[in-house]
Amino acid sequence: MENKKLLIIVPTLYGGGAERVISRLAEALSNDCEVLILTFPTPEQYPVPEKVRILYLKEFDGPALAWLGKISYAIFPIRRLTCLCRQITALKRREKVDVTLSFLRSANLWNALSGGGGRKVMSERNNPMEKGQHYWRCCLLSYPRSDKVIFQTRTALEMFPARIRKKGIIIPNPIRVSCLAAAPRKKIVTMGRLHPQKNHTLLIRAFALFLRDHPGYTLHLYGKDKDGFDAKEVIAESGLEGKVILEGFHADVHASIADAEQFVLSSDYEGMPNALLEAMMMGLPCISTQFEGATELIGDSGACLMTPKRDVEALAAAMSRLSDNPALRESLSKAGRRFAGAFSVEQVIPLWRDVLLNDTGKR
């Protein structure tokens, strides 16, 4: 395989499932090609190998004072978009990039509107219909300018018109964990940024019901905070201070959740639920709400318990069922590990490699 140069564009390397996928892709593909990641700097980020070059975008590219640039960007967002696309175009040409892969709405738009040689591959990470009209319009602007669009589920692909579906290919996320489940404590966990999409309110209120008959348990929320959801307010309203713990961002979260009795995903919608698959791969007994991505992915496999979206009583009942039934926990642990094995890095990375480096991916 010739030594190609792959540029990955993402707004940050911090805090979410897409960012974690990028760290895995970069590590795996750096054995086959030169990998560059273009992003904004953040205080924390997922680790990548030293041979992967991380380059940083600049918000301001002119001689104006920083404060003046900030004001003009706030008033004229098109100026910010133009600035970023100009930087990306220059980078693609300077580095002689062969393939540019972008993740998330903003980065897909930057990829679409920037110049430079090589193929443009974009990745849809969510359920576009749930994200609102602005998100949908950005997709319809970006994806026709791509050479390939990678979807996580057929549900998401089928939402788009034929001209975009023709460019589409379904590839799951590569899943890898750093450790397996250990001896459990009275600990329930979830992973996901504190965003309304994740519906932590549902989980906290279900936990309050569960706690009435199961004292001594704690609920731990792992993920980037300050992302549109005030968890502290809901915790206080439910009288759960000291029982619900906001753990924040952990680069290696698996070691922190290994001693959990159960993992619960309470999302209203997702693309492909990375956190759920990682918990399954670890061997944690899992519960998930029945959003489209989970129902398509898991189906009737029996790999986890499923409850209706936004149903507090049903979720609390499922948590109680797991807590009260060690044999069920053991069964789900084994079934989840078997199921998640199909999404391992070893199984999935070759599919990404074929699309990005060989352009031979099939729908």
Question: Alpha-carbon distance 48 to 29, whole Å?
Answer: 11
Neighbouring CB atoms inside 10 A of 67's CB total: 9
Give every strand in the sheet of 286-289, ordered side by side.
244-248, 218-222, 187-191, 262-265, 286-289, 305-307
234 shares a domain with 123: no
Question: Alpha-carbon distance 341 to 207, whole Å?
Answer: 30
Q: What domain range includes position 277?
A: 187-343
252 shares a domain with 272: yes
The reported pLDDT for the residue numbered 315 is 98
254 shares a domain with 157: no
Quick check: 189 and 330 in contact, CB under 8 A?
A: no
| 183-220 confidence digits (pLDDT tens) | 999 999 999 888 899 999 999 999 999 999 999 999 99
The reported pLDDT for the residue numbered 292 is 83
Task: Identify the three-state secondary structure at position 191.
Answer: strand
Which pair of structure tokens corresponds to residue 39? 């992003």
Quick check: 268 and 309 in contact, CB under 8 A?
A: yes
191 shares a domain with 135: no
319 shares a domain with 224: yes
pLDDT in tens, the chain (363 residues): 458 999 999 998 887 788 889 999 999 999 999 999 999 988 878 888 999 999 999 875 554 444 444 554 455 678 788 889 999 999 999 999 999 999 999 999 999 999 987 899 999 988 888 888 999 999 999 999 999 999 998 989 999 999 999 999 999 999 999 999 999 999 999 998 888 999 999 999 999 999 999 999 999 999 887 666 788 999 999 999 999 999 998 878 999 999 999 999 999 998 889 999 999 999 999 999 999 888 888 988 899 999 999 999 999 999 999 999 999 999 999 999 999 999 999 999 999 999 999 876 554
Give every strand in the sheet of 53-56, ordered side by side.
53-56, 34-39, 5-9, 99-103, 119-123, 148-151, 168-170
Mean pLDDT of the chain: 90
The reported pLDDT for the residue numbered 307 is 97
Domain-located, residue 182: no
CATH number at residue 40: 3.40.50.2000
348 shares a domain with 337: no
Positive or negative: CA dihedral 318, 192, 231, 311 = negative
232 shares a domain with 91: no
C-alpha angle with apex 193: 189 to 196, nearest 5 degrees?
105
Domain-located, residue 92: yes
259 shares a domain with 116: no
Domain count, the chain: 2
Q: Which helix (H) or strand (E) holds 286?
A: strand 286-289
